[in-house]
Amino acid sequence: MAGFRLGRVLGRGPRATVYEATQLSLDRQVAFKLLHDGALADRVRRLAWPEHPGAVSLYGSGTSEHGPWLAMQLIDGRTLAETWAPLDDVAGALAQAHDAGIVHGDVRARNVLIQDGRARLTDFGLVDGTIEADCAALAALRRDHPRPPARRRRVVGAAGAAAIVVAGIAAALLAGGPSGDGDAPRAEPAPGTLVVGSDLAAGGVEGVDCNGRAPSGTSPACTVMQRTIYGREVEVPEAGTITAWAVRGSRGRLALQVLRPRGRDVAAVGRSADVSVPDGGLHTFPADLRVVAGDRIALEVPPDAAIGIRRDTAGATTERWVGPLLDPPRPPERAAGTGLDVELALRVTVRPGSAEPPLAPVRGAAAAGAPAGQTLATREVDIGGDQTRTVAIVTLGGRVAVDLFDGARRLARVPVTGADASGNLVRATPRSGALQVRWRNPDGAEIDRQVRVGAARLS
């Protein structure tokens, strides 16, 4: 299929076959749906699809000699028919579609995909229907898939609770402030870690530019920092290392910044790698940024990106700088009261204290002599030319790495940045010349890393 390399079949039915595929121009994994009914070609050519966290993202559509096709966000999970998830995001996506005149036509459990406890609706507009029928079908889904009984949460001691709950989560859960929508999954911090910033609850989050408007070609670049939530300062409470950061409602290319107040001036003292946020869902990224007590968190936002915000959070203020905040230190150009006093849907996880030194990639003699660690899983990876290599996922202290072997000899090691060894391996999937690793940290954050595998090195 032009522009796509089709892989394994994910599902097959009377109307379509769905493949795991690679979009070659972006080297992106997608779900590629090939429709069996050629009469749907006209419908696919004029297909309308909402952009919403509760909708599977549509990357492209068209026709081919094999039939009409859709390229969509790859959801590695189950359907509502197989497991339960809150449907508020789905309801929001459907409402946005109806506002835009888009009718789904086939709202049913098999078209609601579940990943990481979140539900997304797919297959908009492939079947005739009405808005009224969509709403009735959603109501039936809610009735047929009710929320399971709440499980009692284990209570930690007061000292432990004070140590792990800070900033927005502390205000929401301990001080009785708003805590977001009740269906939002709560990621419990790993023992001994701190969470700083938004609780990232689902619902009520929108994507805006640096002026609080819909992103456009005239949007400015900026650095935007959360000053307060619920009237409390949002700052790192003690020295440590930011190991992960997460956003909801944002889109585009973003970076996390660590800012350090110096009187009224603020200096940028740390910055993550740029990341590409594909849609307005909940996304977590690894980090390795040292912080001290009093440091602040911010987003560096280019003109074409969107920042996830919630407007109805009490006591929320931000400060902004036009463009990236670089040396020399300077005061905010747009402080509290200048038009964007909202909650940023941004959160970081901090491991307090002096962190273990980060693992460095090694190969050759240094890799052969490195400590073995504890092996969690091994896989065989095809590297071409009828050759394979053995790779292993290992833990060393609090860190996670991928090792490359030729027989019993270790040839190379690379870290899985941001992965906490007290979490667990979700999956390790061999691909042609690569290993795809998904790791879940104790706070619920998931790390995705693709490691390229060569004959004698990893990257």
Same structural domain, 5 and 104: yes
Cβ-count burial of 249 within 10 angstroms (0-12 exposed, 13-18 middle, 19+ buried)?
buried
Q: What is the pLDDT along the chain (459 residues), one digit of tens a residue?
A: 778 999 888 888 778 899 999 988 888 889 999 998 888 999 998 898 988 888 999 989 999 888 999 999 998 888 888 788 888 889 888 988 888 889 999 999 989 998 877 889 999 999 999 998 898 898 888 888 876 654 433 333 322 333 323 333 333 322 223 233 333 334 455 667 889 999 898 888 999 998 888 888 788 889 999 999 988 899 999 888 888 899 999 999 999 999 988 778 888 877 887 888 988 889 988 887 888 889 999 999 988 899 999 998 888 999 999 877 765 678 888 877 777 899 999 999 998 875 456 678 888 888 888 888 778 888 999 998 888 889 999 887 678 899 999 888 899 999 988 787 767 888 889 989 999 998 887 666 788 889 999 999 998
Same structural domain, 247 and 319: yes
- Helix axis angle, 88-99 relative to 131-144, nearest 10°? 180
Same structural domain, 60 and 109: yes
**Residue 354, pLDDT score:** 57
**Residue 154, pLDDT score:** 32
Total domain count for the chain?
3
Query: Is the residue at 368 inside a domain?
Result: yes
Q: Residue 88: what are its φ and ψ, rounded to 5°?
A: -65, -40
**Residue 241, pLDDT score:** 87
Query: Is the residue at 459 inside a domain?
Result: no
CATH number for the domain including 105? 1.10.510.10
**Residue 323, pLDDT score:** 77
Domain boundary among 352, 371, 392: 352
Binning the chain into helix, strand and coil, the percentages to the nearest 5 are: 10, 45, 45
Longest CA–CA span in the chain (Å) reads 68
Same structural domain, 189 and 114: no
Query: Is the residue at 389 inside a domain?
Result: yes
Domain boundary among 293, 324, 352: 352
Query: Is the residue at 458 inside a domain?
Result: no
Same structural domain, 415 and 273: no
Same structural domain, 100 and 176: no
Same structural domain, 241 and 262: yes
Same structural domain, 108 and 218: no
**Residue 358, pLDDT score:** 67
Q: 423 near 411, Cβ under 8 Å?
A: no
For the chain, helix (H) and strand (E) counts, in that order, are: 6, 30
**Residue 206, pLDDT score:** 93
Give a three-class secondary structure readout of 439-454: EECCCCCEEEEEEEEC
**Residue 190, pLDDT score:** 60
Give CA–CA dist 1/9, Å, rounded.
14
Upstream peptide bond of 178 is cis (omega within 30 degrees of 0): no
Domain boundary among 352, 378, 413: 352
Residues in the chain: 459
Pairing of strands 265-271, 307-310: unpaired
Stated pTM of the model: 0.43
Same structural domain, 6 and 135: yes
Q: Which is nearest to 225 in space by CA: 197, 264, 251, 202?
A: 197
**Residue 307, pLDDT score:** 95
**Residue 150, pLDDT score:** 44
Same structural domain, 125 and 173: no
Same structural domain, 114 and 261: no
**Domain range for residue 56?**
1-150
Query: Is the residue at 8 inside a domain?
Result: yes
Query: Is the residue at 357 inside a domain?
Result: no
Beta strand segments in 47-204, E: 58-64, 67-73, 78-79, 112-115, 118-121, 194-197
- Whole-angstrom CA distances from 131 to 99, 134, 144, 194 are 10, 5, 20, 45
Same structural domain, 210 and 72: no
